[in-house]
């Protein structure tokens, strides 16, 4: 079943009772009077009501207690999928050129295969890092990683690069004005994370040194595995955004989110956001597919 936004807005009138996560809860469209006729033509609307098969799917989307969103973006396209779950019933809703395509999935193999065409499904990864940090400390670490990535890329294309530690002033400058393809820019733009003030950066770097992420000696250098990660993760190609939402019996909504950035089939950075901070990991394509599948299953995040 494929529906336009206007048709969905028209059908919203049939659902007076809906959950906070309902597909119909946030539809904003101006009806033009043709919606009922087009729904009748599609066989969705019969004798003033929904046909049984379509009603079953729309009931799940209206009463969902859990939902999830997976969006993949690269330079050429956007793939966007929503899952609505009401008890044991699941409906998949896909963005199809602005219209929404509804289906009842028989597992996730087709969806995962589609996403893996962009990200790869390798079991191999170039580096091995995993660290959970408070937001401001993570932003400071990402600034050092970004500048190390920039130096590695310049070296590969034959530009002169000064070897050695990164200056404190360069880190502060990058935090204030990060480059377009930098991790700092991605987190500021997509998640509105703030960056530390210049006067806080020194203490944050000291904390990172104590946690074994960086080395402070005549400037700032990444420790071994972080340096490997920065030197191999050069040009981001694909971004995968994952979000999950749960609503309890009182209508309160809780959420969880992750961001994965791919710079090749063996270079994927995973960011998982939690009240404790941000977890950064280098993961394989296979691990990414496992994360996507977990989100598609609308995980329980209320507890």
The pLDDT tens digits of the residues spanning 46-105 come to 887 888 888 999 999 999 999 999 999 998 899 999 999 998 999 999 999 888 999 999
pLDDT at residue 302 in the model: 65
pLDDT at residue 64 in the model: 92
Q: Does domain 130-232 have CATH number 1.10.10?
A: yes
Average pLDDT of the segment spanning 114-128:
94
214 to 82, 166, 204, 285, 292: CA distances (angstroms): 39, 11, 11, 27, 31
Instruction: Provide DSSP, 181-203.
Output: TSHHHHHHHHH-PPPPPHHHHHH
The pLDDT tens digits of the residues spanning 135-174 come to 999 999 999 999 999 998 888 777 777 777 999 999 999 9
| Residue range(s) occupied by CATH 1.10.10 in the chain | 130-232
Band of residue 291 on the pLDDT scale cut at 50, 70, 90: very high
The answer to whether the pTM exceeds 0.85 is yes
Here the tokens at position 120 are 């790869």
């Amino acid at each position: 079943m494929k529906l336009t936004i206007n048709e969905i807005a028209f059908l919203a009138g049939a659902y007076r009772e809906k959950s906070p996560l309902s597909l119909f809860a946030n539809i904003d469209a101006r009806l033009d009077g043709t919606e009922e006729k087009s729904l009748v033509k599609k066989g969705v609307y019969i004798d003033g009501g929904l046909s049984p098969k379509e009603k079953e799917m729309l009931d799940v989307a209206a009463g969902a207690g859990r939902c999830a969103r997976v969006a993949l973006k690269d330079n050429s396209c956007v793939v966007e999928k929503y899952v609505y779950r009401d008890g044991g019933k699941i409906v998949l809703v896909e963005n199809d050129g602005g219209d929404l395509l509804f289906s009842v999935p028989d597992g996730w193999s087709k969806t995962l295969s589609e996403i893996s065409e962009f990200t790869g499904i390798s079991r191999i990864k170039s580096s091995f890092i995993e660290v959970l940090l408070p937001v401001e400390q993570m932003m400071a670490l990402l600034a050092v990683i970004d500048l190390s990535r920039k130096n590695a890329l310049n070296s590969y294309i034959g530009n002169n690069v000064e070897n050695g530690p990164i200056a404190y002033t360069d880190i502060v400058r990058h935090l204030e004005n990060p480059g377009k393809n930098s991790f700092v820019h991605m987190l500021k733009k997509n998640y509105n994370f703030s960056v530390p003030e210049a006067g806080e950066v020194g203490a944050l770097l000291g904390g990172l040194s104590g946690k074994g992420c960086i080395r402070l000696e005549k400037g700032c250098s990444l420790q071994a595995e972080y340096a490997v990660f920065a030197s191999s993760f050069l040009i981001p190609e694909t971004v995968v955004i994952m979000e999950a939402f749960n609503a309890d019996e009182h209508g309160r909504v809780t959420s969880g989110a992750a961001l994965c950035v791919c710079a090749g089939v063996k270079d994927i950075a995973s960011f998982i956001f939690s009240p404790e901070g941000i977890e950064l990991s280098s993961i394989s394509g296979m691990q990414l597919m496992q994360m996507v599948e977990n989100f598609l299953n609308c995980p329980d995040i209320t507890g």
